[in-house]
Structure 1
């Protein structure tokens, strides 16, 4: 390979991995009818004059499959945490017991499960688009390399490597989506 080559496969791979990480975080926030501490991760509380993640104002536990508890450390924040959960759009009705907030996870009905699989599909499509955008950036780098005197053999080699990287990440997105949809539809 020539010294002039401007294609950074490691950077492209890192950016595609970032899209996968983002997808996993979005999937973790989807309610599947099973309790998970990651359900409350996106929720922030107005605490001490700043928006603070819920796991920084209390201990989040999953004592049983259909229950998440949050043990709020500061008694003065209990009502703010409860309000943040109600306004989060999780669709869960928090129950208070002193400084402990209990979140009972209701069973999902068939219609809600189907809606959630569609949302998971949208998250996956957004990840695919992000991966394709990274691929496009790689191909633009390849065109610049062509203008800088890169041989056709080198171009073909880089093109194939970028495409293989893209295909591998798209396949990982599809696998993750399939797994998440099965998890959602599981009764």
Structure 2
């Protein structure tokens, strides 16, 4: 693998770590409603378990309420039960043809707990990025030992990888800070 391929691979792997963090942070519930909150709630549909979004239209009614309108009326009670039994702590109300899922306000203690979860997720993403840097630097050193690249190329490549690492760690820090701000808003 040449230096350019190593750097490209490193960038892709670091970007993947940031994407995983974004997905994980989206699961952390703030006081605000968002449709992605129900993405992991599974409901039984003709013998198989599927996400709510595949059997119903999930929309925002207002900033604190999600609306769930099933495409088949007989699914309403199953969806309601699935949301109620999920670990999200939500209590949907049946309005006949649509479920209203209000977001309960977060307590100060719960906000602190979620802040710790967010920081932990961020640290895991940082570790993933640093591991990519370590792996790539190891590959560069191996290439240097085999004399497939010069010392100057190796030094430049390591500097470039460090710049990539700094950039992605900065991006992770911004995501964490933004999520913590969301948690503190009432």
How does the TM-score come out when normalised to structure 1?
A: 0.91
Q: Secondary structure at the match of 1:8?
A: helix
Pairwise CA distance, 1:151: 1.5
Q: Which residue of 2 aligns with 1:67?
A: 65
Whether 2:159 is the aligned partner of 1:160: answer: yes
* Local SS of the residue matching 2:94: strand
Please name the residue that 1:186 is paired with: 185
2:15 is aligned to 17
2: distance between equivalents of 1:48 and 1:136?
48
Secondary structure of 2:165 counterpart: helix
Q: Secondary structure at the match of 2:29?
A: coil
Larger displacement relative to structure 2 (161-170 or 144-153): 144-153
User: Which structure 2 residue ranges, 5 or more long, are not aligned?
Assistant: none
**Structure 1: any 5+ residue segments left out of the alignment?**
none
Q: Secondary structure at the match of 1:93?
A: coil
Contact in 2 for aligned 1:58/1:73 (Cα 8 Å): yes
CA deviation string 1:29-63 (max 9, x = no partner): 21110111111112222223322122111111111
Report the CA distance between 1:140 and its aligned residue: 2.2
Q: Give, in whole Å, the separation in 1 of the partners of 2:168 and 2:141.
A: 22
The offset of 1:175, in angstroms, is 0.9
Q: Distance in 1 between matches of 2:135 and 2:74?
A: 50
Q: How many residues align?
A: 185
Deviations 1:107-133 (A, max 9, x none): 111111111111111111121122122
Moved more, 173-182 or 140-149: 140-149
Is contact 1:28–1:38 with CA below 8 Å preserved after alignment?
A: yes
In structure 2, the CA distance between the partners of 1:45 and 1:136, relative to structure 1 (3 Å rule), is farther
Larger displacement relative to structure 2 (146-155 or 42-51): 42-51
Other-structure match for 1:112? 110
TM-score normalised by the chain length of structure 2: 0.92
